[in-house]
Structure 1
């Protein structure tokens, strides 16, 4: 705000957008929160709320998130889900009708996407648990803490990646149109 002659205050209006990002669980929330800190600075006119779903199937997460946030006012809404057990077409349609875009972590899950960001190959034979076992010991803290991802995934690494799911999430956080 700036002061005008005569003591009145002139308000500067800033376009403000809101985004809800819901990941499957605590790991997703931690990593997305880390990305939010890097790509959505305070004062940007873009606020982001990051939440964790209750786990379970993609269908359960979609149903719970829609129910929980049906009266919430967000400009954009995103669900970030694992691709090893993606939502069925009917579940995807239900989410889209409720105003949610869906990003699927590829390959397979968050950990698969992050290993790919680091330039590691993901074998078709590897399951999500094996990918977690590969990534988690390398993190700087517990995998449910945003700080755990800071050392391996600084801004330059996340800006340069070609992993489609991480790039898509970054664009949403930067408030770029997808």
Structure 2
């Protein structure tokens, strides 16, 4: 009897700006990249160093790993330089921008009106939802799959990100 052909995983690298994005992406990974999904997703944190830090994180990760797809999650409050934009385009990195920040996207998912600045969004998120947004368990508590599915259409950045991590290459 022939052995069944083993299917390989689609490998995805996503670089993020900070700890809040990292915790949220790890939560999305739990929901959408389970054992049966044939998707392996790695999240790299630029630790608050902005777009240049994201590029450095991608370069570092791709030196030691091979990825089918590469993405980067940016906050819209920090402009992306022409050099960084050119590098991302040349290296076929999908970009996802939360305007003005990831907190605005999270508030939109919860059907709350986000603030206009990053500080307003962070303050609103802290006032609206209890817990530490840099902790993965925060998202399990406040953003179960049903909430994310219901709110993803009101947050285009999140919807695009989910499509990206669930697509078959």
TM-score (norm 2): 0.87
Q: Which runs of 5+ in 2 are unaligned?
A: none
CA-to-partner distance for each residue in 1:87-122, whole Å, 9 max, x for gaps? Answer: 1233111122123111101x3111011111111223
User: How far apart are the structure 2 equivalents of 1:94 and 1:34?
Assistant: 28
Counterpart check, 1:136 vs 2:126: yes
Counterpart check, 1:171 vs 2:163: yes
CA-to-partner distance for each residue in 1:8-34, whole Å, 9 max, x for gaps? Answer: x72431142100011101110000101
CA-to-partner distance for each residue in 1:121-178, whole Å, 9 max, x for gaps? Answer: 234xx3212211211354454221111012221112211221111101111221257x
Per the alignment, residue 61 of structure 1 pairs with 54
Counterpart check, 1:122 vs 2:122: no
Cα pair distance change 1:77/1:121, threshold 3 Å: same
Larger Rg over CA atoms: 1
Residues 85-96 of structure 1: matches in 2 within 5 Å?
85-96=78-89
SS of aligned partner of 1:114: helix
Q: Give yes or no for contact 2:15–2:54 (8 Å, CA) kept in 1.
A: no
Structure with the higher helix share, 1 or 2:
2
Structure 1 stretch displaced more, 135-144 or 156-165: 135-144
Instruction: State the 1:46 CA deviation.
Output: 1.0
User: How far apart are the structure 1 equivalents of 2:50 and 2:137?
Assistant: 27
Q: Give yes or no for contact 1:81–1:103 (8 Å, CA) kept in 2.
A: yes
SS of aligned partner of 1:43: helix
Counterpart check, 1:42 vs 2:42: no
CA-to-partner distance for each residue in 1:56-103, whole Å, 9 max, x for gaps? Answer: 2313332x1243124221000001010111312331111221231111
Higher relative contact order (CA 8 A, sep 6+): 2
Cα pair distance change 1:117/1:76, threshold 3 Å: same
Q: Which runs of 5+ in 1 are unaligned?
A: none
Task: Give the length in aligned residue pairs.
Answer: 166
Instruction: State the 1:49 CA deviation.
Output: 0.8
Per the alignment, residue 10 of structure 1 pairs with 3
User: How far apart are the structure 2 equivalents of 1:37 and 1:70?
Assistant: 23
